[in-house]
Amino acid sequence: MLESKMRTRENFRAILRIFDIPLMALAAGGLFFLSIYFIVVQGRVMPVTRERMVEVKKFLDRQSAEKNYGDVYFLGSSVLLEGIDCDIIDRTLPHGLESYNLALMGAGPPQWLLLAPSLKRIRPSLIVLCADLAGITGLASIPEDGLAIAGWWEFVPGSELNVIGAYLSEREYKTLHKLRLLHLLTFRIFPIGAFDMYMREVSRPDLRYEGYTTNFKAPWVRRERISLTATKRWIRGKLMDVKVQTPEDMAIEVRIMQGIIDYFREAGVKVVIVLTPVNPLLSTDIDQGLKNQVENSLTDLAGQNNIRFFNNSNLLPEEYFADYGHPFESGRILWSEVLGDAIHGTLLAAAD
Amino acid sequence: MLFQTPEFLVLILSVLVGIALIRTHTLQLVFLLAASYIFYMWWNPAYIFLIVFSTLIDYFVGNALGRTDNRGARVRLLTLSCVANLGLLSTFKYFDFFTDSINQAILSSGGSTQLPTLHVLLPIGISFYTFQSMSYTIDVFRGKQKPERSLARFALYVAFFPQLVAGPILRSTQFLPQLYKVVNLRPENLRAGFHLVLSGLVKKLVIADNISPLADSILNSPQGLPSPVIWVGLITFAVQIYCDFAGYSDIARGLGRMFGYDIPINFNFPYLSKSITELWQRWHITLSTWLRDYLYGSLPGSRTNLLLAYRNLMITMVLCGLWHGAGWNFALFGAYLGTVLVIEWLTGWNRIGRGRRAGEALTPIDKWRKKILDIVRWGVTMYVILLGYIFFRVHSLPDIIYTAKKFIVFDFTFKFGTWGLAKANPFKAVMLLGAFVVLHAISYRMNGISGWMDRMNRLQQSAVYLMVTLALIWLWPSAEKSFVYFQF
């Protein structure tokens, strides 16, 4: 009996003698939070795509502070990011008005929603929602790191959280709303992500990245078209993505777009919808029924809200694209001119 | 329950405290057995009955073997154990595979009759615990192991949680004697065990899980990719599967060590091998020795007739391939490795450099010649194993053919930025591959990272804990990933 009691005591003594292990783990945790704060939040070491998100928010806050009211703002994904040059569009706009390309890589309606409160504050004359075929056919949920950025930099103020939150999924809402300190945990992927993005994209000679994060006119320019083999591989991948998406996913996207339209309508801001150009290579392979469904959904959405819908999906020939879906220089110029005219017309009609 | 989850942390801390509190040996065994069953049932409670079934059959067969000297009866008992264990394995792992294959054959020959399939979920770890349990009855049959009288002890041998679902595959002769000792927690065991666990977590969470997206994005859809990308994909997969599995083995060994149990080493720097024969002696050692002792050695002619030995080697390797997964690509992988092994045996490739007499001095030229030869042999071995991984990892025949073609006939297309691999963070993966090479070299020099940590003073150890924990927090993958070998 005595021996077994002694043994129990020895066992616990053994556990206590390795107590430096949890202590070091705690110290590492503390060091982590400190380092992540200084590296990511203060030093802004993050992939350029995420840094742009922060810069868009800061830009909108600046516009609001400087009372730069009445301009035109484009929201979209990488197709828009690479696809338009706002300097070309500005030439067609009424005097004094400017347009801004606020596209974010991979962004769909849920991400646009996060920018809505900041946009509302500057009362634009027009918001252009540029939906792309591959994005709109599936559920473009907001990635965790995007939500962490929106949470930390307060994209959605507390007073608007209920309105915006109604269109977010439960996961998105919880992540956006969680304790700020926990967002730092998500930021841990940024430094290595920044290195990866730098090596993969920023340092490439066939891409122009200067001012990418703070360029809201023509953020990203490709200098070379990618090979046909690579384009075809991309298209195969895109088609696979589209295949696994369901009509319910698309319905959710359209519902969020309706939410954005309602949100801006209440603030007296006009909205138009654009279906972005689709590479004919992708267009021929994609299910035509699906494409019609997208076009009909957006037409109906515009019709129900009495707003304009510009279907640019068949605008550009294959050689005007840099890859499976992003317009190349010639495509960018043509699409910008077409969009400029369309927006000019819309603004004139609104003035009438 | 995965090792890297909070649930497991709670389980292991509870088990340590429980073991420290329990004063009788039998209760300790029962407590560890209960913990092992809870660990397994966390995944799928119903499948615990398969482990219990396998345990009971082999427990009773082992004891019955101990009571009879009648050769015929002993053979019948052994057959009962093998049929029960292999029956479980065949039903749950291979039934649908063979039925689907027959159905395909019927369809392609114009027939319409279709055999029914079971559509059952593969029980995690079934290939490991059935082999472990079966080896006990074979050892009892061969007289190498005494029948175990305590059901709790035998059940714990079959289901000991650290190695239950992905090995190392234990032998009763190694592990059952250890279960006779009272578990006393000792700081040196706890610390050494923790070092192994830490080493395993780094392999799994920092390396394997962070590079797997790159291997997946390349090898899940290889069509259209150029040779350099295919090479990167295969090298990444080679490191991923090693770190994933060796990481699991390290954690299993570390957890065992915490309780004072020695779980055998499963990997011994396999990628430093200079022949496939050597690689197979360093990779998943507990499986390769199991197959050698219980399958290859039992086939007639393995030790007496060279031709029969080659045939038996091929049979063993094909079955080894199928052990890894129910698919023809795995059988092909086994056949490929078997063929390479036969070629190595025939040509003497695996015996190069063995002919030197002990103590014989090498001239400087001989030393250089040996170094160059070793590098060439290592390069050839890596090339052969990477080629083999194509069968292992790429599943459809057109993709296997395309990948093999691009791997063998190098096309020198070096534009990495345009292949749709962005989501896989390719440069992060390449950086971690570099980190793996450095860590592997340190580990080789220091005779194992965990052993090196054991020998450090307390201050150095604390610094390592701090750095490794920081690395784990920074690089802990966002999505929880199961261990690759769970599917086997």
* Structure-token match 């296997």, residue found: B400
Q: What is the mean pLDDT of chain B?
A: 89
How many angstroms away from the CA of B431 is the closest CA of chain A? 9
Give the closest of B16, B465, B470 to A21, CB-based. Answer: B465
| A144–B475 CB contact, under 8 Å | no
Number of C-beta neighbours around residue B46 at 10 A:
9
More confident call, A248 vs B60: B60
**pLDDT the model gives residue B176:** 94
A229 touches chain B (CB under 8 A): yes
Catalytic option among B119, B195, B284, B324: B324
Q: What is the pLDDT of residues B409-426, one digit of tens each?
A: 998 877 666 666 777 788
Q: Does the pLDDT at position B483 exceed 70?
A: no
**pLDDT the model gives residue A341:** 92
> Which chain A residue has its CA at the smallest distance from B187's CA?
A14
How many angstroms away from the CA of A238 is the closest CA of chain B? 10
**pLDDT the model gives residue A352:** 62
How many angstroms away from the CA of A22 is the closest CA of chain B? 9
Quick one: which of A332, A273, A307 has its CA closest to A131?
A: A273
Q: Which residues of chain A lie closer than 8 angstroms to B458, CB-CB?
A: 20
| B185–A11 CB contact, under 8 Å | yes
Q: What is the pLDDT of residues A176-233, one digit of tens each?
A: 888 888 899 999 989 988 888 888 777 777 776 667 888 999 887 777 888 887 788 7
> Which chain B residue has its CA at the smallest distance from A200's CA?
B417
For residues B119-124, give the mean pLDDT: 81
**pLDDT the model gives residue B453:** 87
Query: What is each CA distance from A267 to A57, A76, A118, A123, in whole angstroms?
Result: 19, 21, 12, 7
A200 touches chain B (CB under 8 A): yes
**pLDDT the model gives residue B350:** 75
For residues B244-268, give the mean pLDDT: 94
More confident call, A247 vs B69: B69
Q: Which residues of chain B lie closer than 8 angstroms to A199, CB-CB?
A: 427
Top CATH class, A44-351: alpha beta
For chain A, the farthest-separated pair of C-alpha atoms sits apart, in whole angstroms, at 98
* pLDDT tier, A2 (very low <50, low <70, confident <90, very high otherwise): low
> Which chain A residue has its CA at the smallest distance from B416's CA?
A200
* pLDDT tier, A68 (very low <50, low <70, confident <90, very high otherwise): confident
CA distance A176 to A101: 24
For Cα atoms A296, A301, A305, give the angle at the middle one, nearest 5 degrees: 145
B324 assigned to active site = yes
For residues A161-186, give the mean pLDDT: 88
Is-contact A290 A144, C-beta < 8 A? Answer: no
Chains A, B: CB pairs < 8 Å:
120
How many angstroms away from the CA of A170 is the closest CA of chain B? 18
Phi-psi region of A74 (alpha: psi -120 to 50; beta: other; left: phi over 0): beta
Is-contact A340 A91, C-beta < 8 A? Answer: yes
> Which chain A residue has its CA at the smallest distance from B472's CA?
A28
How many angstroms away from the CA of A217 is the closest CA of chain B? 25
A351 exposed, middle or buried (CB, 10 Å; 0-12, 13-18, 19+)? exposed
Number of C-beta neighbours around residue B459 at 10 A:
9
Q: What is the mean pLDDT of chain A?
A: 87
Is-contact B280 B337, C-beta < 8 A? Answer: yes
Q: What is the pLDDT of residues A80-116, one digit of tens each?
A: 998 999 999 999 888 788 999 999 988 889 999 999 9
| A236–B221 CB contact, under 8 Å | yes
CA distance A169 to A180: 19
Q: Does the pLDDT at position B167 exceed 80?
A: no
Q: What is the pLDDT of residues A6-65, one digit of tens each?
A: 878 888 888 888 888 888 889 989 999 999 999 999 999 999 889 999 999 999 999 988
| A32–B474 CB contact, under 8 Å | yes
Q: Does the pLDDT at position B486 exceed 80?
A: no
Give the closest of A25, A193, A234 to B425, CB-based. Answer: A193
| B466–A195 CB contact, under 8 Å | no
**pLDDT the model gives residue A252:** 85
* pLDDT tier, B485 (very low <50, low <70, confident <90, very high otherwise): low
Give the closest of B20, B221, B431 to A15, CB-based. Answer: B20
Q: Which has the minimum average pLDDT: A149-158, A201-210, B219-228? A: A201-210
* pLDDT tier, A134 (very low <50, low <70, confident <90, very high otherwise): confident
Give me the residues paired with residue B159 across strands.
none
**pLDDT the model gives residue B383:** 96
**pLDDT the model gives residue A293:** 84
* pLDDT tier, B111 (very low <50, low <70, confident <90, very high otherwise): confident
A21 touches chain B (CB under 8 A): yes
How many angstroms away from the CA of A145 is the closest CA of chain B? 10
**pLDDT the model gives residue A15:** 84
How many angstroms away from the CA of B258 is the closest CA of chain A? 10
Is-contact B168 B252, C-beta < 8 A? Answer: yes
Q: Does the pLDDT at position B355 exceed 70?
A: no
| B427–A195 CB contact, under 8 Å | yes
A223 touches chain B (CB under 8 A): no
| A20–B462 CB contact, under 8 Å | yes
| B182–A7 CB contact, under 8 Å | yes
**pLDDT the model gives residue B357:** 62
| A10–B16 CB contact, under 8 Å | no
The residues of B whose Cβ lies within 8 A of any Cβ of A are 16-17, 19-21, 23-24, 182, 184-187, 189-191, 194, 221, 223-225, 415-420, 422, 425-428, 431, 458, 461-462, 465-466, 469-470, 473-476, 478
Ranges of H-type helices in chain A: 2-16, 20-36, 48-65, 78-83, 86-92, 109-121, 133-136, 144-152, 161-165, 170-177, 180-187, 190-197, 228-243, 247-266, 280-285, 288-305, 329-351
* Structure-token match 């290939």, residue found: B127
| A14–B186 CB contact, under 8 Å | yes
| B425–A14 CB contact, under 8 Å | no
**pLDDT the model gives residue A300:** 94
**pLDDT the model gives residue B411:** 87
Question: What would the two tokens of residue A312 be?
Answer: 């640019």
The whole-angstrom distance between residue A224's C-alpha and the CA centroid of its chain comes to 24
Query: What is each CA distance from B7 to A284, B14, B38, B47, B476, in whole angstroms?
Result: 50, 11, 11, 20, 16
For residues B275-294, give the mean pLDDT: 93
Q: Does the pLDDT at position B303 exceed 70?
A: yes
The DSSP annotation for B176-229 comes to: GGGGGS-----HHHHHHHHHHHHHHHIIIIIIIHHHHHHHHHHHSS-TT--HHH
| Percentage above 70 pLDDT, chain A | 94
